[in-house]
């Protein structure tokens, strides 16, 4: 019955509204149903000891557990070394159901990781290394595993001339696939594998017309990192005439095994874990991973989980710190059983000068090697004034007006899109050249690029001065002159602005990064699939390329670790890292402190860790801080992880002793990070750390010295003298840090050094407030 006063038209409108609401609700329910059915990849960690007696094989148990929640789900990978468990595609509901079953420790969603994208041997002193790292057969027995974008095996960096038989310990393979056959491996490149199941189940099948479904490197990053770590000696290496000389990896006599885990769409944790699992089976000695994916608790971090298993097998794992600097807390790969590497500069530069119409000249950097600009001053324009969009200053695709840039030099601001792409945009619009100016985000840091047109990059201050000229002169003009390769640049090294910084956001008591190594403008091998810029329109092909990132510094340390492994086969991963850290330097030869290019001021342990790597000193460190798996388990107990969380990480049952007081401060780490509670909070003003040193040199007596940037924190080492009478003898000491009061904004830095007059065993100290 129609309500009084309501028209038929109104009644129809109400009926229609109710109908639309019903349709909307049904659509929402449908969408919710679809959402519940969306599948993602999960990594399932199993408690191996809880396998029911009805199963005689763990794989059958895993499969049965999976089928109990999904008849259609299939295992992507079964892991046996890095994880007790498997990976599979599941809905959120299926994952939740699986996690509640007996024997399941955790069901963790897959994470996506990203790549952290020669003068170096000479800069590190390796041309004088024959006495420290003799060309022995032991070096040829060391195998460096590189997880990256694959390899371009035809490069001379992987030439096996002069190499003996492949070590009998090697159990790996050379897998065939798109554009790659097993015959591509040799006595240098001993193995090549690829892992794509996790990637393909998330992003769909690899387009094999665009990307090789094989160990073939179509990107360049993997060839660069592998050749940096352990590339063979190549005479006459250069990029377009720049950086000419002899290229060699850090451990040029070591073998290389590549594990392709990164594709156009990223690197997925299920694939990374599978590669680490296989690398352990294959018997690599060092694992190098120039990739990262943020930070999370160690039992949730696939790289940390895989690295723990590798560490237990005696494999050193070296990872890039990340390119998130210069902000604090920007690190990735911070687990204490990982060697975390930041980036510094070399003493080599590629100057390219800007000459302005007002007679002023400024210095920038460039790797441009094409036709020179006309021998005259050219019209000069700011990109922001040659565009009809608000962010035209950034020279993004399609934003420049050709009529306003044709035949001119264009000033573009750095940011958002790739540096080399900005030049490509200027060139496409008819511009004659480009000056790329840094903004606040990058300050004075200069990274050289193989631009597609005459171009140079300048720092922020220079950019501001050039912009001032552009706005004040009614007819501005400019030109660019290229200075080639310059060596002996001082000061060097300086900490790169992009290099990620501490403190460690997961465990503040563990100082990260551990160390820095060369990571700016590094020359190494390159793919034959793309040009040096990686841009589609770049049809140049080069044997070597110059690129920058902690991705480049990481394989330097991986290769140096291989050198130390060859010289000291008995050393553990922690011993090798200790040798690299305690011999690192934090001052130039003139005594001045290492600089941070982001600030122009002295860098701190949060920037450089223990300092810049010094491989010659690392070969003979005198004393080392050793750590074994049980020490790390005690450290995990100090973090108060649950039994299932510990099992997820350690792959076995381990019960923390309830009667024992575990302390994060007691992990035998070669550095000291001290976090005092905030002013006014409860807690002791004295924090005590304990350490144990192992003698790996001659007998001797070591005396301690302590230095600090502030007297506000008292640092006392007891005892002050340690005497060693034999090789492998161990001696312990304690350090007490006392802070009557700390300003909430004050960090205090220092060093603790033990010396016998010949060796200096140095540890950085970073004191902050939580």
Does residue 215 sit in helix, strand or coil? coil
Q: Which 8-state DSSP code applies to residue 218?
A: S
Does residue 566 sit in helix, strand or coil? helix
- Name the active-site residue from 45, 221, 556, 612: 221
Q: Residues with Cβ < 8 Å from 60, sequence gap 6 or more?
A: none
Reduce the secondary structure of 398-431 to three states and give it as a string: CCECHHHHCCCEEEEECECECHHHHHHHHHHCCC
CA 43 vs CA 82, 98, 106: distances in Å: 12, 11, 8
Contact 724, 702 (CB under 8 A): yes
The token pair that represents 101 in the structure block:
């079953």
- Name the active-site residue from 63, 148, 514, 666: 148
Burial of residue 430 (CB within 10 Å: 0-12, 13-18, 19+) is middle
> Of 594, 595, 557, 606, nearest to 577 (Cα)?
557
The token pair that represents 692 in the structure block:
């144990």
d(CA 679, CA 681): 6
User: Cβ of 406: how many Cβ atoms within 10 Å?
Assistant: 14
| b/e sequence 56-77, b meaning 16+ C-beta within 10 Å | eebeebbbebbeebbeebebbb
Q: Which 8-state DSSP code applies to residue 231?
A: P
Across the strands, what pairs with 718? Answer: 734
Rg (CA), the chain: 29
d(CA 421, CA 425): 6
Contact 491, 592 (CB under 8 A): yes
Contact 187, 160 (CB under 8 A): yes
Is there a catalytic annotation at residue 551?
Answer: yes
- Name the active-site residue from 129, 551, 553, 675: 551
Is there a catalytic annotation at residue 736?
Answer: no
d(CA 10, CA 273): 64
> Of 752, 760, 610, nearest to 691 (Cα)?
752
With the CA atoms of 703, 708, 712 and 713 taken in that order, what torsion angle do they form, in degrees rounded to the nearest 10? -50
Helix axes 573-582, 550-567, angle to 10 degrees: 110
Is there a catalytic annotation at residue 330?
Answer: no
d(CA 594, CA 368): 30
Does residue 445 sit in helix, strand or coil? coil
Q: How far is CA 353 from the centre of its chain?
A: 32
d(CA 567, CA 734): 31
d(CA 55, CA 656): 29
> Of 182, 208, 176, nearest to 529 (Cα)?
208
CA 716 vs CA 38, 141, 288, 694, 720: distances in Å: 58, 44, 37, 21, 9
Cis peptide before 630 (omega within 30 of 0): no
DSSP labels for 611-654? Answer: -B--HHHHTS-SEE----HHHHHHHHHHTT--HHHHHHHHSS--
Hey, which residues are catalytic here?
148, 221, 551
């Amino acid at each position: 019955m129609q309500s009084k006063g309501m028209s038929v038209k109104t009644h129809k409108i109400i009926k229609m509204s109710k109908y639309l609401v019903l349709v909307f609700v049904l659509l929402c329910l449908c969408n919710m149903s679809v959402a519940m059915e969306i599948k993602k990849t999960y990594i399932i960690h199993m408690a191996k000891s809880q396998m029911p007696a009805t199963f005689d094989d763990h794989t059958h148990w895993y499969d049965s557990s999976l089928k109990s929640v999904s008849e259609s789900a299939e295992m992507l990978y079964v892991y046996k070394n890095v994880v007790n468990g498997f990976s599979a595609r599941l809905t959120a509901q299926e994952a939740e159901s699986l996690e509640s079953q007996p024997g399941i420790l955790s069901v963790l969603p897959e994470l996506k990781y990203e790549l952290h994208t020669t003068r170096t041997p000479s800069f590190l002193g390796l041309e004088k290394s024959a006495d420290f790292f003799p060309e022995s057969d032991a070096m040829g027995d060391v195998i460096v595993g590189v997880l990256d974008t694959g390899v371009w095996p035809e490069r001379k960096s992987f030439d096996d001339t002069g190499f003996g038989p492949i070590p009998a310990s090697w159990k790996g393979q050379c897998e065939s696939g798109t554009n790659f056959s097993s015959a591509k491996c040799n006595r240098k490149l001993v193995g090549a594998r690829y892992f794509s199941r996790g990637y393909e189940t998330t992003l769909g099948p690899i387009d094999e017309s665009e990307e090789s479904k094989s160990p073939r490197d179509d990107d360049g990053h993997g060839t660069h990192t592998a050749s940096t770590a352990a590339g063979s000696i190549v005479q006459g290496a250069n990029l377009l005439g720049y950086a000419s000389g002899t290229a060699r990896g850090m451990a040029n006599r070591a073998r290389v095994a590549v594990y392709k885990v990164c594709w156009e769409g990223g690197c997925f944790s299920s694939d990374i874990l599978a590669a680490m699992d296989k690398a352990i089976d294959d018997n690599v000695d060092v694992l190098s991973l120039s990739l990262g994916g943020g930070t999370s608790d160690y039992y949730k971090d696939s790289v940390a989980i895989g690295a723990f298993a590798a560490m237990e097998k005696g494999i050193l794992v070296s990872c890039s710190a990340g390119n998130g600097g210069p902000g604090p807390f920007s690190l990735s790969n911070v687990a204490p059983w990982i060697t975390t590497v930041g980036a510094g500069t070399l003493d080599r530069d590629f100057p390219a000068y800007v000459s302005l119409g007002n007679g002023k000249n400024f210095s920038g950097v460039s790797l441009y090697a094409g036709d020179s600009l006309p021998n005259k001053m050219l019209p000069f324009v700011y990109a922001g004034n040659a565009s009809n969009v608000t962010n035209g200053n950034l020279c993004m695709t399609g934003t420049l007006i050709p009529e306003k840039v044709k035949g001119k030099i264009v000033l573009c601001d750095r940011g958002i899109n790739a540096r080399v792409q900005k030049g490509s945009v200027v060139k496409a619009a008819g511009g004659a050249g480009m000056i790329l100016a840094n903004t606040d985000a990058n300050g004075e840091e200069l990274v050289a690029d193989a631009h597609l047109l005459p171009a140079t990059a300048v720092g922020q201050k220079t950019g501001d001065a050039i912009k001032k000229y552009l706005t004040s002169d009614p007819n501005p003009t400019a030109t660019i002159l290229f200075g080639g390769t310059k060596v002996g640049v001082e000061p060097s090294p300086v900490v790169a602005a992009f290099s990620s910084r501490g403190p460690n956001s997961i465990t503040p008591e563990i100082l990260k990064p551990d160390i820095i190594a060369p990571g700016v403008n590094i020359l190494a091998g390159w793919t034959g699939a793309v040009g040096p810029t990686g841009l589609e329109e770049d049809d140049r092909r080069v044997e070597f390329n110059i690129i920058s990132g902690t991705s480049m510094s990481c394989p330097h340390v991986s290769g140096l670790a291989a050198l130390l492994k060859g010289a000291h086969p008995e050393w553990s991963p922690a011993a090798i890292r200790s040798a690299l850290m305690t011999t690192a330097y934090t001052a130039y030869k003139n005594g001045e402190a290492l600089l941070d290019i982001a600030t122009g001021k002295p860098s701190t342990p949060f920037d450089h860790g223990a300092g810049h790597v010094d491989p010659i000193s690392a070969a003979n460190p005198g004393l080392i801080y050793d750590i074994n798996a049980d020490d790390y388990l005690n450290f995990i107990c100090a973090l108060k992880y649950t039994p299932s969380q510990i099992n997820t990480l350690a792959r076995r049952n381990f019960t923390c002793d309830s009667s024992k007081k575990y302390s994060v401060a007691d992990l035998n780490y070669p550095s000291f990070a001290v976090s005092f509670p905030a002013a006014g909070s409860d807690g002791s003003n004295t924090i005590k750390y304990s350490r144990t040193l192992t003698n790996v040199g001659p007998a001797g007596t070591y005396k301690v010295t302590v230095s600090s940037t502030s007297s506000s924190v008292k640092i006392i080492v007891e005892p002050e003298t340690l005497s060693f009478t034999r090789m492998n003898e161990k001696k312990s000491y304690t350090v007490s840090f006392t802070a009557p009061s700390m300003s909430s904004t004050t960090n205090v830095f220092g060093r603790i050094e033990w010396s016998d007059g010949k060796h200096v065993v140095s540890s950085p100290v970073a004191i902050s407030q939580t």
